């Protein structure tokens, strides 16, 4: 059997943000492996497929990556069209390369279908471009997350030199991340946008880097992005004006008006 495994980007959350090609592949798949953050309505599009949940959600029990690799290889032996649904874009913080390498080592064809990554959806939610003429000519995406047995990366130095910076999977260590950026010379008043559950109507908040370092974040119920840069200055000022009072020490970010 000449099987193909498709690594499909399921987008940031909203089911209508997947591509037409992704939708066609899901609908025609024989088996679909999906992450915990993939919207149920996207999974439901696989009307003729066997559906297998394989976890991979921060802070909860998840399937080991090597086991996921094996499941994909095994599925390709008995199914012609295998779809691996990944939240956001498969090639950005999706551990896609490990799956690609495992499949190619087994002689299995792989195709990648890109998806909308969370930073793009968050930018759209806020109505704020990540780049702006005269303000931001560079954008950096990073994560402080380190897998077991992996060497930590110098993510903070990367973000400290970007005009606009986006930090994925960092809500639980927001205070430490902000403090590290302060230590590398970013200004205390550097604006921060905090977007939870991008594309799904989650909370949007603003703070300064100093405030985030001091207070951190309260518990977030969905995947959360920390976004830094002068492109968020006007939104931060508007949010403070709307609130009508100084920043409260107990609330680490100003709630944005909708």
Among residues 35, 89, 125, 215, the one annotated as catalytic is: 35
Residue with tokens 């943000």: 17
* Tokens at 150, concatenated: 């992996």
Rounded Cα distance between 82 and 29, Å, is 6
Annotated active-site residue 56? The verdict is yes
Q: Are 173 and 144 in contact (CB under 8 A)?
A: yes
Query: DSSP secondary structure string, 109-128?
Result: EEEEE----HHHHHHHHHT-
Sign of CA dihedral 91, 96, 101, 104: negative
Three-state DSSP class for 67?
helix
Q: Which of 56, 89, 125, 180 is catalytic?
A: 56
Do residues 118 and 145 lie in contact, with contact meaning Cβ atoms separated by under 8 Å?
A: no
Give dist(CA 211, CA 39) in Å, integer: 33
Nearest to 73 by CA among 1, 5, 2: 5
Instruction: Outline where DSSP puts E strands in 174-218.
Output: 191-196, 204-208
Give CA–CA dist 209/236, Å, rounded: 12
Would you name the residues annotated as active-site residues? 35, 56
């Amino acid at each position: 059997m000449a099987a193909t495994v498709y690594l499909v980007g399921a987008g940031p959350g909203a089911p209508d943000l997947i591509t037409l090609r992704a939708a066609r592949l899901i609908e025609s798949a024989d088996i679909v492996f999906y992450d915990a953050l993939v919207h149920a309505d996207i999974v439901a599009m696989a009307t003729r497929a066997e559906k297998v949940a394989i976890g991979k959600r921060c802070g909860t029990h998840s399937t080991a990556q090597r086991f996921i690799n094996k499941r994909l290889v095994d599925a390709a032996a008995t199914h012609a069209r295998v779809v691996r649904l990944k939240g956001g874009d498969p090639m950005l913080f999706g551990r896609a390369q490990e799956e690609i390498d495992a499949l190619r080592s087994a002689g299995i064809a792989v195709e990648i279908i890109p998806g909308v990554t969370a930073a793009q959806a968050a930018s759209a939610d806020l109505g704020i471009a990540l780049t702006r003429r005269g303000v931001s000519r560079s954008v950096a995406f990073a994560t402080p997350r380190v897998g077991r047995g992996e060497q930590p990366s110098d993510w903070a130095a990367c973000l400290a030199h970007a005009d606009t910076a986006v930090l994925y999977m960092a809500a639980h260590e927001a205070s430490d991340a902000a403090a590290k950026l302060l230590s590398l010379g970013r200004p205390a008043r550097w604006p921060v946008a905090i977007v939870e559950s991008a594309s799904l109507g989650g909370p949007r908040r603003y703070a300064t880097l100093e405030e985030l370092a001091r207070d951190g974040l309260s518990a977030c119920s969905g995947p959360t992005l920390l976004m830094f840069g002068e492109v968020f200055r006007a939104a931060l000022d508007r949010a403070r004006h709307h609130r009508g009072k100084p920043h409260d020490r107990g609330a680490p970010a100003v709630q944005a008006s909708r």
